[in-house]
Amino acid sequence: MRFTSGPIPRHARPECTMNIYYIRVYGLEDGLQWPLHVHGLVAARDSADHNRNFLFNRTRDNCQILTQEDPHLLLTGPCRAVVIIDPITIEFQLKVRSRTEPEEDELLAFRIFNYPQTYLSKHVIQSSILCKRCMIEFAYAPLVPSVEATVSIEVIDGVWPEHIRGRVIACITTVSEGEMLLLDSRDGMMPISPSTRIIELSRRVVSVDLKGGKLLVSVAPSQIGEVDNNNDDDFVRGESVFEPKRAGKSHNMCDLGFCKIEVTVTWSLLSNLTDEWRAGLKRTDKR
């Protein structure tokens, strides 16, 4: 949300970006067995600032349990759009927690990959990554040119009942058969701040094609314990469609029956270190 409001510098513009759809662990080897208590990190580095942009980041005391039926990492990022100006580096450092001592934690995946693709993809690309003790499926789609969209959802009327779970999904209309999971409360209560009434999403940032693309945000409630909430006819599925903007905010209200929610999308252009460096030189020369 760097360039949402106020004076927007000339070097901020739509850029080639990458949406990450999911990361799945499969093909266990070398004695590993389900379930896995996984901790560690998955991060992306790009030329926007060269820092780690975490997609997954858990400590040993906050492991995610992966099962053969549900082997997907619960992504918490990226925290900003992943820019494909130069090749993107994806870093995996994942471990399986030992039942006894930390020193006995087992390595699950330790790899670094570069993704140079900058072309427009109309479908989700699934890359299989061979690691020493497992396979990792990394699903993504490059977009050009695109803007950053940050999603926020607030309960504005009524109450979200404790016995109702929820899933929040984002889709880009120009990419077929791809969903980005922003939140899955699973068999727990929806994480709603009591002070702000904002639903605390696991991840909030996606990219949207500026020309021809639209962002679809779906909120799907269901009874806690339901295996497939798409087959639950007792609840209304809230859907909001947003046209991308270069800056500013977009709002849409959804009536779920038991409560009303407002979906807000904050738009921003993008920049990289090279353009910011050049802009800094120009300001210095003028002085």
Q: What is the pLDDT of residue 229?
A: 47
Calculate mean pLDDT across residues 59-80: 96
Q: What is the pLDDT of residue 204?
A: 98
Measured CA distances, 137 to 27, 108, 220 (Å): 10, 14, 26
Other beta carbons within 10 angstroms of residue 194's beta carbon come to 5
Q: What is the pLDDT of residue 194?
A: 93
Identify the residue whose tokens are 């909120």.
219
Q: What is the pLDDT of residue 126?
A: 93
Residue 271 reports pLDDT greater than 90: no
Residue 277 reports pLDDT greater than 70: no
Q: Is 238 helix (H, G, I), strand (E, B) or coil?
A: strand
Name the DSSP letter for residue 100.
S
Q: What is the pLDDT of residue 87?
A: 86
Name the DSSP letter for residue 174.
T
Give CA angle at 182 (3, 4), nearest 5°. Answer: 10
Residue 58 reports pLDDT greater than 50: yes
Q: How many residues are recorded in the chain?
A: 287
Residue 101 reports pLDDT greater than 70: yes
Calculate mean pLDDT across residues 82-93: 91
Other beta carbons within 10 angstroms of residue 196's beta carbon come to 11
Residue 99 reports pLDDT greater than 80: no
Which has the minimum average pLDDT: 29-43, 100-114, 254-268?
100-114
Q: pLDDT tens across 174-206, in order?
A: 998 899 999 999 888 899 999 999 999 999 999
- DSSP-assigned beta bridge partners for residue 263: 153, 252
Q: pLDDT tens across 149-165, in order?
A: 999 999 999 999 999 99
Q: What is the pLDDT of residue 10?
A: 85
Q: What is the pLDDT of residue 119?
A: 73
Query: Which two three-digit tokens encode residue 32?
Result: 């590993």
Q: Is 281 helix (H, G, I), strand (E, B) or coil?
A: helix
Residue 242 reports pLDDT greater than 50: yes
Q: What is the pLDDT of residue 86?
A: 83
Residue 287 reports pLDDT greater than 70: no
Report how far residue 86's alpha carbon sits from residue 142's, in angstroms, rounded to the nearest whole number. 13
Q: pLDDT tens across 132-149, in order?
A: 899 999 999 999 899 999
